[in-house]
């Protein structure tokens, strides 16, 4: 065992020395993390996401091509909260990369420094659907959390590459300032529509709703991860009519058949609202994600004429 660890140390040192000059290779699980990482890492890192923004991040295939990416990574950034539980663990295990194993320096679970909603209390069972026992993993949909993610990535990059600390911290400060400014703008845009009641397909938007004052009153899914059932859809239609709800938000990776049917019954507009960078081709960075979503919402609410 001693010999193995000595060999490992030697191998790690050689690898570290070899990569000390070039850019840090960062792999993220989602495009949101990559977008934020790109803001703070600038040209000192090369960064790439595994899942696409228009893909359901719960169900990504553990393709061997991802193993090749992870093999060369200096840092792996994950969303955490069991979002990637179905596909990331076997990839990390087969990566043959000690640096990015959970618990190692090159593994960052960005949820550890973010504000997490919907952490279940009391007993949870799968009768509740595919619940995330550690809380809702869609936390990047709040710009405040975006800043927190950026800070963690910047700190981690500084830890791995102390020589570039000033660079990363300066870029972090710049990003934070720009998010603050944009957030004021977004809040102002949404302010007149505070309290607007909406229905969403999956529980992807609690952080967004809390930040921008939406009131999510129901879900197209009867339970997380369980596809729509006729009875639930009927109940939802009645509830929406009763409360006069005119907006349904659907993530780009869900089928529109049921939401459209609900829309026809209730007169509500069905909005395909990307919860991720890359969710639609106009959303190419973290700022455009909120620009796009908020414009989409505001236009729809204006058009619907209800609150």
Partner 1 sequence: MRNACAWVAAAGLLLGSASSASAQEPAALRQEIDQLRRDFETLKQQYGDRLTALESKLAAAEGAAPPAAGQPPATPPAAAQPTPPAAGQPPAAPPAAEVPTGAAGAGGPTGTLPVYGSTVGGAKVFNPDIAVIGDFLGAAGHNSVNPQPGFEMHESEASFQAVVDPYARADFFLSFGEEGVTLEEGYATLTALPGGLLTKVGKMRAAFGRVNTMHNHVLPWTDRPLVTLNLVGGEDGIDDAGISVARLIPNRWLFLEATGQVYRGDSDELFHASEPSDLSYVGHLRAYQDVTENSNIDFGASAAYGHNFAGIVDGTDRGRFTTTLYGIDATYKWKPLSRSIYHSFTGRTEWIWSRREQFNGTQATWGMYLSGDYQLGRRWFVGGRLDRSGQANDASLVDTGGSFVVTYYPSEFSQVRGQYQRTNYGIGSSADQFLFQFQFAIGAHGAHPF
The residues of the shown chain that bind partner 1, judged by CB under 8 A, are 1, 4-5, 7-8, 10-11, 52, 54-56, 59-65, 67-68, 71, 78, 80-82, 84-90, 92-94, 96, 98, 101-104, 109, 111-113, 115-117, 119-122, 124, 126, 129-130, 133-135, 210, 215, 217, 225-227, 252-255
- Residues whose CB is less than 8 angstroms from the CB of residue 111 and which lie 6 or more positions away in sequence, other chains included: 79, 80, 81, 134, 135, 137, 139
Is the four-CA dihedral 221, 280, 31, 199 of positive or negative sign?
A: negative
In whole angstroms, the minimum distance from the beta carbon of 116 to partner 1 comes to 5
The nearer residue to partner 1, 13 or 20, going by C-beta atoms, is 13
**Cα–Cα dist 242/184, whole Å:** 33
The DSSP annotation for 177-205 comes to: HHHHHHHHHHHHHHGGGTT-EEEESSS--
Least separation in angstroms between residue 247's CB and partner 1 is 16
Q: Which is nearer to partner 1, 11 or 181 (CB)?
A: 11
Whichever of 215 and 265 has its CB closer to partner 1, that residue is: 215
Residue 237 burial by Cβ neighbours in a 10 Å radius (0-12, 13-18, 19+)? buried
Collapsing DSSP to helix, strand or coil, 1 comes out as coil
Q: Which residue(s) pair with 108 in the sheet?
A: 77
Q: In the complex, what is the shortest distance from the CB of residue 189 to partner 1, in angstroms, rounded to a whole number? A: 21
In the chain, beta strands by DSSP E: 24-28, 45-49, 75-78, 107-109, 197-200, 215-219, 247-250, 269-272
The residue with tokens 């619907």 is 304
CB of 68 to partner 1, least distance (A): 6
Cβ at position 104, least distance to partner 1 in Å: 6
**Least spacing, CB of residue 4 vs partner 1, in Å:** 6
Nearer to partner 1, 186 or 254 (CB): 254
């Amino acid at each position: 065992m001693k010999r193995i660890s000595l060999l490992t140390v030697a191998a790690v040192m050689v690898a570290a020395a070899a990569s000390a000059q070039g850019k840090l290779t960062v792999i993220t699980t989602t495009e949101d993390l990559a977008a934020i990482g790109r803001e703070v890492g600038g040209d000192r890192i090369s960064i790439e996401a595994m899942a696409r923004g228009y893909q359901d991040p719960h169900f990504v295939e553990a393709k061997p091509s991802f193993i090749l990416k992870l093999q060369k990574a200096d840092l792996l950034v994950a969303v955490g909260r069991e979002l990637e539980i179905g596909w990331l663990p076997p990839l990390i295990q087969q990566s043959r990369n000690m640096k990015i194993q959970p618990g190692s320096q090159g593994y960052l679970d960005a949820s550890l420094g973010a504000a997490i909603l919907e952490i279940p209390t009391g007993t949870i069972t799968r009768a509740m659907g595919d619940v995330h026992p550690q809380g809702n993993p869609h936390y990047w949909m709040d710009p405040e959390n975006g800043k927190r993610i950026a800070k963690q990535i910047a700190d981690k990059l500084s830890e791995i590459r102390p020589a570039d600390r000033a660079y990363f911290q300066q870029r972090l400060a710049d990003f934070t300032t720009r998010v603050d400014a944009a957030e004021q703008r977004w809040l102002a845009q949404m302010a007149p529509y505070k309290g607007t009641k909406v229905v969403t397909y999956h529980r992807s938007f609690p952080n967004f709703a809390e930040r921008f004052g939406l009131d999510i009153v129901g879900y197209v899914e009867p339970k997380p991860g369980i596809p729509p059932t006729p009875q639930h859809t009927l109940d939802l239609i009645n509830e929406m009519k009763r409360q006069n709800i005119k907006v349904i938000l659907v993530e780009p990776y869900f089928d529109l058949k049921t939401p459209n049917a609900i829309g026809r019954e209730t007169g509500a507009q069905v909005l395909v609202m990307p919860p991720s960078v890359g969710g639609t081709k106009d959303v190419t960075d973290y700022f455009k994600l909120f620009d796009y979503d908020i414009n989409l919402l505001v236009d729809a609410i204006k058009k619907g004429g209800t609150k």
